[in-house]
Amino acid sequence: MKFLEALSIFLGTIIGVGIFGLPYVSSQAGFWPMVGYFILMGLITMKMNFIYGDVILGTSKIHRFPGYIGEYMGHRFKNFSFIVVVFSLVGALLAYLVIGGQFLYSFLTPLFGGGVVIYTLLFFAVGAFLVFRGVKSIGIIELFLFFVLLVILAIFFFSSFEAIDFRNFRSFDLLYFMLPYGAILFSLGGGSAIPEVAEILSGKDEKKKTKAKLKGLIVLGLIITVLIYLLFIYIVLGVSDIVSEDAFSGLYGKIDPNIIRLGLVFGVITCFTSFLSLSLTLKKVLWYDFGFSENFSWFLTSFVPLGLFFFGLRRFIEIIGFTGAVLFGLEGILLVLLYREFLKTKGKEINPLNYLLVGILVLGIVLSILLFYTDII
């Protein structure tokens, strides 16, 4: 039971808003390049989670990522890791704000009218109010939503199978070859759950047994995640002539509108609960770790993403791509450096092959910044 509980938490953390952008990315870059990317990025993510798990199980004190950085790498690196984590959370909150408002707009505008900005503000206002009032963790709801996702995917698959056009899987455009990198790295990010998962698995077992269980869980969790993502991409890409950035809008006229509305409801709920969860996390980081007051932490948590939205950062795919490639990439680089210092305390040397991981992440950061910059201009 503990293994299933830990697996559910791991899956619930990984599978989030990123899933909704993957069909669009696939429509631009091609389905088969996406499969290749998932294999590569899945292995990279798996390795990073293995490294993090080793550090967690090999450290007597219980921390979160910046805490481990501080213990093994010092105060300056700890502060830098806090900044990276904060910007990662802000990027993720902005993504949830953009796509959550879009889902709410798509679902409610046929009934009440109005523009997408109005529904984004409604999404934001309710979320910010609940975080201000001190809503508790909604982790249990997120786990429940994971199983709802499986049900909806099954409904989508069986209701749209006959409408799938296999010609939609033949496209390939070298111009968009880098587009999937950041989006997939974003969608596979679940490292924040590793400390909790490791704690659940520990129990009375020896560390070697716990380590083996944790690695098995990470492998199984990522395989399940990738299969779910590919199935969702397969359905949306196969059915849609033109794939929308939110995945669902482009399905109208192809499958039963009631099923699309079911997907939109699920999207709103998923985005909203995750928006609350990430907002609570960022608020606590600013409050406990940076030393800001509770109300000021709430203000920054709520209004910085909203300010970025009104500044014009509203392109969902670019947000998750940049956040995944640059900010999650920086976290990955810090993780490898952390592992090197951790091994030194054990009298061991890091395998030089781990620096290959750093090289890939650095290359991904540089190329993504260049692509983002040229696209903005």
- Which tokens hold the place of 55? 């550090």
Smallest Cα–Cα separation from 58: which of 357, 339, 350, 355? 339
- Rounded Cα–Cα distance for residues 301 and 304 (Å): 6
pLDDT higher than 70, residue 80: yes
pLDDT one-digit tens code per residue, 220-246: 999 999 999 999 899 888 888 788 888
| Mean pLDDT along residues 87-106 | 93
**Cβ distance 22 to 187 under 8 Å?**
yes
Query: Is the model's pLDDT at 108 over the cut of 60?
Result: yes
pLDDT in tens, 287-317: 877 788 989 999 999 999 999 999 999 999 9
pLDDT bin (cut points 50, 70, 90) of residue 203 is: low
Per-residue pLDDT tens digits for 168-192: 777 777 777 888 999 999 999 888 7
User: Residue 308 sits in a domain of what CATH number?
Assistant: 1.20.1740.10
Nearest-Å Rg of the Cα atoms of the chain is 20
Residue 74 burial by CB count (10 A; 0-12/13-18/19+): exposed, middle or buried? exposed
Number of structural domains found in the chain:
1
- Band of residue 139 on the pLDDT scale cut at 50, 70, 90: low
Most confident range, picked from 14-18, 21-25, 62-66: 21-25
Q: In which domain, by residue range, is 43 found?
A: 2-376
C-alpha closest to that of 192 among 283, 257, 277, 78: 277
User: How many helices, marked H, and strands, marked E, lie in the chain?
Assistant: 15, 0
**Cα dihedral 269→23→248→140 (10° resolution):** -10
State the DSSP H helix or E strand holding residue 268, giving kind and residue range, or none if neither: helix 257-284
For the chain, what is the mean pLDDT?
86
Which residues does 313 contact at the CB level (< 8 Å), separation at least 6?
A: 94, 319
pLDDT of residue 141: 67
Query: What count of Cα atoms within 13 Å lies in the side-chain half-sphere of residue 170?
Result: 5
How many Cα neighbours within 13 Å face the side chain of 133? 8
Predicted confidence band of residue 142 (pLDDT cuts 50, 70, 90): low
The band of 63, judged by pLDDT with boundaries at 50, 70 and 90, is: confident
pLDDT of residue 192: 78
**Strand, coil or helix: what is 255?**
strand
Q: Is the pLDDT of residue 318 over 80?
A: yes
